[in-house]
Amino acid sequence: MQVIEYSAVLFFAVPLAILLINILFPKQLAEKFSIYLAGIAAITQIAASAAGFLLLSAYRLHEYEFSFWDMTNAGSVRFGVNTFSLVILFCIGLVSLASILVANRTVDKKRAGYVNLLMMLMLGMNGMVMVTDLFSLYVFLEIVGIASFVLIAMFKSDTGLEGAFKYLVMSILASIMILTGLSFIFMQTGSLQYAHVVGMNLLEGQSSPQLMLIYAAMTLMIAGFGIKTGAVPFHSWLPDAHQSANTAVSVLLSGIVIKVAGIYGFIVLTGLFSKLPAVNMALAIMGTVSIIIGALFALRQNHFKRIVAYSSVSQMGYILLGLSAGSILGLLGAVVHVFNHATFKSTLFTNAAAVHEQTGTYDIDEMGGLEKKMPVTGFSSLAAFMSTAGIPPFAGFWSKLLIIMALWDSGFQLFAAIALFASIFTAVYFLRLQKKVFFGKLLSKFAGLTEIGGSIKFAQIMLTVVTIATGLFFPFALLYLKGIGIL
Amino acid sequence: MNAFVETAMLVVGFLLIIAGCYGLIRTYHLLKIVIGVEVAMKAVTMFIVLAGFINGKAALAQTFVITVIVIEVVVAVVAVGIAINLYNNYGSMDVRNLKKLKG
């Protein structure tokens, strides 16, 4: 039992330790070596989450709770890990590693600042995934938010500051909504721990004003987490923030922050309020609209990173649809899609960084035929986009299949059909990107172009291997999950 | 008497949120936008106090409120920092300058 606790404590101890080391060392040393320390933190996170997963299944447990101080005190914060949260913790480690590898090339000045903020972000995201009460969830959500604003704005370009300010104002509105919803729930239950909120059975024996307050709380919290996710009625900040940030930061934002800050909130909400069908319906409608509108907006962009950012809006829609099914199969599909989206979206942003490093532009109209000069980038981009579009041997196919099956089982046949056909849009906008950037005739001005080397190439190869391996071995993963009794 | 106080606090809270959002919409000044959202945020702390008053867990509600105030200050500092950097780049606090990202 002790071993699990050690591996769980690592998720907090390692980022904090690196943050302290980074601050205590002289600035020149920190600028030089902090990026390696950050790499160590990311690799430790990956190893700890994998070890935690194996330990949980070895002990035949579904979750493990622990606390840093006396658990019996009224206000003490409990932390817990379960099988699904360990998958998300693994994604956090993987995307952070990809971001660090990209930052090794794209971030020249302020490396120590980047690493400090990245550690804060990792700490916030790990905390969000591991806490077991709604108020601590909110606190860690704000830590994630603050680290993201500063990461976008820290290079002080006009666009970066603009994107950060838009994100910040939308985020404050989101926290106002989430916190108001929390206070309404707190009014009814007297406690915000997940176990107490589930046990209270909020709907029975309530008078109509109280019911109205609970529905108001649900509306506010869905809107708040919707802003954090970037789901469609609330998506206006997402492409701006993701486009304007440094590409190493975009990898983080699109790869994991919107999922932990937004989608994980929805996972908690659907877990706590599974008896309210209105919640599932709202998520289903928001998801469908996100899929279609996000894909249509992605079709008319010319900025490489903006296309990929709108693609995130569209893919978040699939995850919301998976959650709206309200079954364990839907939850599994959503979490697997979180993992797949983390890998292929990081790949695409890494490719954006590679193309920008070599050609100096993000405008896809100015590119063409880069595949001949940059074969690794071209192939990893192709693999990532096939996975996004859900083409069979790749990883995205399995998660979309699980989501559509779960929707069909729960009686949302219409939404399942829309999700299936909207995959075509995904293929269309990525084919457009792929054709304009990598296929076709090589422009004469790119005759002397070379393939990207070093850490970005390593990140591309690593992420592509993960995408292809997940696709090929996913049936075994399903069998394993069945073996340990999750499905 | 209690019911009156509760309803009054709820109404005042909603009025504060509406006032904050109205200020946010009506102004073009970066700092005034930050002030607007901060006013709305203050209303939320009031809701938490009200919740603690109604369910009898006033001590827990007070710890929540203090934590929220601390977070709010940090967010306000980051917001004002970004606004000052925008002022340095553009020479004015007008939010209508922020038009570089579109589409």
Q: What is the CATH number of the domain that holds B32?
A: 1.10.287.3510
Q: How many CB pairs below 8 Å do chains A and B form together?
A: 109
* Token code pair at residue A71: 């658990």
Q: Which domain holds residue B68?
A: 2-92
B30 close to B95: Cβ distance less than 8 angstroms:
yes
The pLDDT assigned to A75 comes to: 59
Hey, are the CB atoms on A150 and B78 less than 8 Å from each other?
yes
* Residue A73 pLDDT class (50, 70, 90 cuts): low
Residue B23 has pLDDT above 60, yes or no: yes
* Residue B6 pLDDT class (50, 70, 90 cuts): confident
* Residue A337 pLDDT class (50, 70, 90 cuts): very high
> Among candidates A59, A55, A58, A40, which has minimal Cα distance to A86?
A55
The pLDDT assigned to A71 comes to: 63
Phi-psi region of A235 (alpha: psi -120 to 50; beta: other; left: phi over 0): alpha
A48 close to A96: Cβ distance less than 8 angstroms:
no
* Inside any domain, residue B18: yes
Least confident stretch, A144-148, A179-183, A371-375: A371-375
pLDDT > 90 in chain A, percent: 50
Hey, are the CB atoms on A168 and B41 less than 8 Å from each other?
no
The pLDDT assigned to A1 comes to: 56
A389 close to A467: Cβ distance less than 8 angstroms:
no
**Mean of per-residue pLDDT scores for chain A:** 88
Q: Closest chain B residue to A159 measured between Cα atoms?
A: B100
- Of the CA atoms within 13 Å of residue A418, those in its CB half-sphere come to 20
Please tell me the total count of domains within chain B: 1
Residue A215 has pLDDT above 60, yes or no: yes
* Inside any domain, residue B7: yes
A255 close to A346: Cβ distance less than 8 angstroms:
yes
* Inside any domain, residue B101: no
Kind plus residue range of the DSSP H or E element containing B6: helix B2-26
Task: Give A124's contacts in chain B (Cβ within 8 Å).
Answer: none
pLDDT > 70 in chain B, percent: 98
CB-neighbour burial class of residue B56 (10 A; exposed 0-12, middle 13-18, buried 19+): exposed
A350 close to A308: Cβ distance less than 8 angstroms:
no
**Mean of per-residue pLDDT scores for chain B:** 90
* Token code pair at residue B4: 């009156």
Q: Closest chain B residue to A138 measured between Cα atoms?
A: B68
Residue A448 has pLDDT above 90, yes or no: no
* Inside any domain, residue B103: no
Task: Give B67's contacts in chain A (Cβ within 8 Å).
Answer: 135, 139
Alpha-carbon torsion (A401, A406, A409, A410), positive or negative: negative
CB-neighbour burial class of residue A167 (10 A; exposed 0-12, middle 13-18, buried 19+): buried
* Inside any domain, residue B43: yes
* Residue A309 pLDDT class (50, 70, 90 cuts): very high
Phi-psi region of A369 (alpha: psi -120 to 50; beta: other; left: phi over 0): left
Query: Nearest by CB to B44, which of A161, A165, A176?
Result: A176
The pLDDT assigned to B1 comes to: 65
The pLDDT assigned to A175 comes to: 93
Task: Give A236's contacts in chain B (Cβ within 8 Å).
Answer: none
* Residue A72 pLDDT class (50, 70, 90 cuts): low
Query: Nearest by CB to B82, which of A153, A175, A306?
Result: A153
Q: Which residues pair with A363 in a beta bridge?
A: A303
> Among candidates A217, A311, A329, A316, which has minimal Cα distance to A264?
A316
Residue A391 has pLDDT above 90, yes or no: no
What is the pLDDT averaged over residues A78-99? 91
The pLDDT assigned to A321 comes to: 93
Phi-psi region of A199 (alpha: psi -120 to 50; beta: other; left: phi over 0): alpha
Hey, are the CB atoms on B55 and A190 less than 8 Å from each other?
yes
Hey, are the CB atoms on B51 and A187 less than 8 Å from each other?
yes
The pLDDT assigned to B103 comes to: 67
- SS3 label, residue B81: helix
Task: Give A165's contacts in chain B (Cβ within 8 Å).
Answer: 30, 79, 82-83, 86, 98
Residue A168 φ/ψ, nearest 5 degrees: -65, -45
Q: Report pLDDT digits (tens) over A156-175.
A: 888 999 999 999 999 999 99
DSSP letters of A5-23?
HHHHHHHHHHHHHHHHHHH
User: Distance from A161 to chain B by nearest Cα, in Å?
Assistant: 6
The pLDDT assigned to A183 comes to: 92
Q: Which amino acid is at A453?
A: G
CA pair distance A387, A385, nearest whole angstrom: 5
Q: Report pLDDT digits (tens) over A242-276.
A: 999 999 999 999 989 999 999 999 999 998 888 78
Q: Report pLDDT digits (tens) over A109-121.
A: 888 899 999 999 9
The pLDDT assigned to A478 comes to: 86
CB burial readout A264-276, b (16+ within 10 A) else e:
bbbbbbbebbeeb
Contact residues for A421 (Cβ-Cβ < 8 A; gap 6+): none
Hey, are the CB atoms on A172 and B75 less than 8 Å from each other?
yes
* pLDDT higher at A122 or A54: A122
Hey, are the CB atoms on B83 and A163 less than 8 Å from each other?
no
How far are the Cα atoms of A56, A94, A124, A281, B36 from residue B41, in angstroms, in the given order?
Answer: 41, 35, 21, 29, 9
* Residue A202 pLDDT class (50, 70, 90 cuts): low
Least confident stretch, A192-206, A224-238, B15-29, B65-79: A192-206
Hey, are the CB atoms on B85 and A142 less than 8 Å from each other?
no
Alpha-carbon torsion (A413, A416, A420, A421), positive or negative: positive
* Inside any domain, residue B21: yes
* Inside any domain, residue B35: yes
Query: Nearest by CB to B89, which of A158, A172, A188?
Result: A158
Hey, are the CB atoms on A172 and B74 less than 8 Å from each other?
no
* Inside any domain, residue B42: yes
